[in-house]
Amino acid sequence: MKKKLVSVLLSMIMVTGMLSGCGGQAGNGAASDESAQTSDDSASGEKTKLTALFCAHALTADINEFKWLQEFEDQANVDIEWEVIYSDWDQTKPTRFASGDIPDILFNATTDADYITYNGLFEDLTPYVSAEKTPNIQEMFDEEPDTLVLAKTLEGKLFGLPKFQGKWPGTNGVLFINKTWLDKLGLEKPRTFSELEKVLLAFKDGDPNGNGVADEVPMDFNGWFGSAYSLSNLVGGLGIQLTNWANDGYFAEGGEVKNFAVDERYKKLMKYLAGLYAEGLIDENAITNDYSMFQSLSRGNENGDALVGVVYGWEETDKFGNELASQYEALEPLTYDLDGESYDARWTYDYSGLNMSTNRACVSAKCKDKEAAMRFLDQFYTQKDSVEVLFGGIADGNVSEIGDNKYKVNDPQDPAVDPGTWKWTYAFADNGPMYIRRNTEIEMTQDMDNALREREAYNDTLAKVSEDDYYPQMFMKYTEDEQNEMAVLQANVTNITDNQWGLWLVGDEDVDATWDAYVNSVNEAGLQRILEIRQGAFDKYRGK
């Protein structure tokens, strides 16, 4: 039977992270008589008809053309009618969820909060997951137990299936420096904050790109307080261990949950950054530039001249383009050295955030054949099929099977398209449910090889992370009342911290003169209560 694709394509915007979206809610924890019945379709040969929704990346092509996805359906003996959502799902889903208008299966379409808001809308999958019924999902939970901790609610129910793609590196961001500029000016890579300032001054005044124009941008960034590519991440140089994109500034130290927004070390960092900005060493447009502008500047001018000296990014060809990538190298963690204090430099540890997430797939409580739905979902977690979910199909020519549990990700079939874009176009990519085993061997495309090589500069520093200073926000669980309370308080706190970060950076307010009043306002906005709630969740996680 021909399947229909409902495509809601309101905008084609380039996004780099995962598209979070839909909401769903829990069942009553026990399989109903209807759902407990095993489907007879697999025995009879007749396919079970199901409906599914996928919240897709803006680049994703027509998934009905994915041969690998059709193979999944055939192997699970189901026939899926697909609906694909490309944008604005967060605005659309409340109406649909409130009305109960959802398909049998949703992919990349729920959040933990949805299970509370729309109680009863989604099925508790606990009775359907076992070595007999879903051997591949169960294998993931057995071999990577943190995935089960991540997926379960505080009450121990399982609504959203997680993913594990264990080939990604231990940190998201690399601090790149233009080594060609260093060599031209006879400079070494900086290792401390004071050395960085001297290098940036040389980049500003020494015409390192050699075009006779003072167009060099010594240092650039993207995002404000706590963002993945924000300069606030340099707080690691003062001994603060950040994890998974800084979590609004929360971190753990000696088993205590803290927030660097009110830490004296953050004060020192902001004074340093404000000084760099005042000297013209930080891109004055970074505050207002969006991500596309951030990327464009790093790729140089129309004459092929590099323009940026030091900047955060994911991978060299992604950040600088093929023509300029060879000029840049990873800069090792910098140590703050401006006041005689001694700090053990740290670097943001993102392994959990990069390699696992929950709510990749959910099942409606109204689904008439939940066994068939789970049979289909389990297909996504086989060794081979998980590779196809992430990188594209073997039959589609995007991946080759080159041995027993060995795969090669092929170069894009269109040479004008980079591997990252190609992956997002012809696979579910990071938005899909999968289990990439640690022992699965995958020959990556050049961009991924680059990403892993570049991060060797941080391996020794990341090895310092201990249980006492790893902040496991993505694994921590809260009650409904706690979630609601924190949502309100955090909005108030974030409004202050984001605004003050900008005021300090550009010199509109003096850090020393306003610090005490700022700290008081953040605490009065509810930070201490948030820390109390998070400490309780942190302690529960560590006692798991």
Q: Report yes or no: 358 and 162 within 8 Å, Cβ to Cβ.
A: yes
Q: H or E element: which one contains 505?
A: helix 480-505
**CATH superfamily, with its number, for domain 174-348:** Periplasmic binding protein-like II (3.40.190.10)
**CATH superfamily, with its number, for domain 5-168+355-438:** Periplasmic binding protein-like II (3.40.190.10)
SS3 state of residue 308: strand
Q: Residues with Cβ < 8 Å from 67, sequence gap 6 or more?
A: 393, 395, 396
Residue owning tokens 């995007």: 398
CA 519 to CA 497: how far, in whole Å? Answer: 9
Domain boundaries, the chain: 5-168+355-438, 174-348, 476-542
Q: What is the side-by-side strand order in the sheet with 435-436? A: 5-8, 78-85, 48-55, 105-107, 356-363, 161-165, 435-436
Residue owning tokens 């997926």: 151
The pTM for the full model equals 0.82
**What pLDDT sits at residue 202?**
98
CA 497 to CA 512: how far, in whole Å? Answer: 16
**What pLDDT sits at residue 37?**
37
**What pLDDT sits at residue 19?**
33
Q: Report yes or no: 432 and 390 within 8 Å, Cβ to Cβ.
A: yes
CA 414 to CA 476: how far, in whole Å? Answer: 43
**What pLDDT sits at residue 341?**
85
- Burial grade of 341 (CB within 10 A; 0-12, 13-18, 19 or more): exposed
CA 419 to CA 451: how far, in whole Å? Answer: 13
- Among candidate residues 317, 323, 273, the one with its CA nearest the CA of residue 295: 317
Per-residue pLDDT of the chain (544 residues; tens, 9 = 90+): 433 333 333 333 333 333 333 333 333 333 333 333 344 454 556 999 999 999 999 999 999 999 999 999 999 999 999 999 999 999 999 999 999 989 999 999 999 989 989 999 999 999 999 999 999 999 999 999 999 999 999 899 999 999 999 999 999 999 999 999 999 999 999 999 999 999 999 999 999 999 999 999 999 999 877 788 999 999 999 999 999 876 799 999 999 999 999 999 999 999 999 999 999 999 999 999 998 899 999 999 999 999 999 999 999 998 999 899 999 999 999 999 998 888 999 999 999 999 999 999 999 999 999 999 999 999 999 999 999 999 999 999 999 999 999 999 999 999 888 888 899 999 999 999 999 999 999 999 888 899 999 999 999 999 999 989 999 999 999 988 998 999 999 999 999 999 999 999 999 999 999 999 999 999 999 999 999 999 999 999 998 6
CATH fold match for the domains 5-168+355-438 and 174-348: yes
Q: Which two tokens stand for residue 492?
A: 């108030």
Q: Which two tokens stand for residue 386?
A: 């998980």
Q: Report yes or no: 110 and 22 within 8 Å, Cβ to Cβ.
A: yes
DSSP 385-437: HHHHHHH--TTTTSEEEEETTEEEEPPPSSTTS-HHHHHHHHS-GGGS--EE-
**What pLDDT sits at residue 419?**
86
**What pLDDT sits at residue 44?**
56
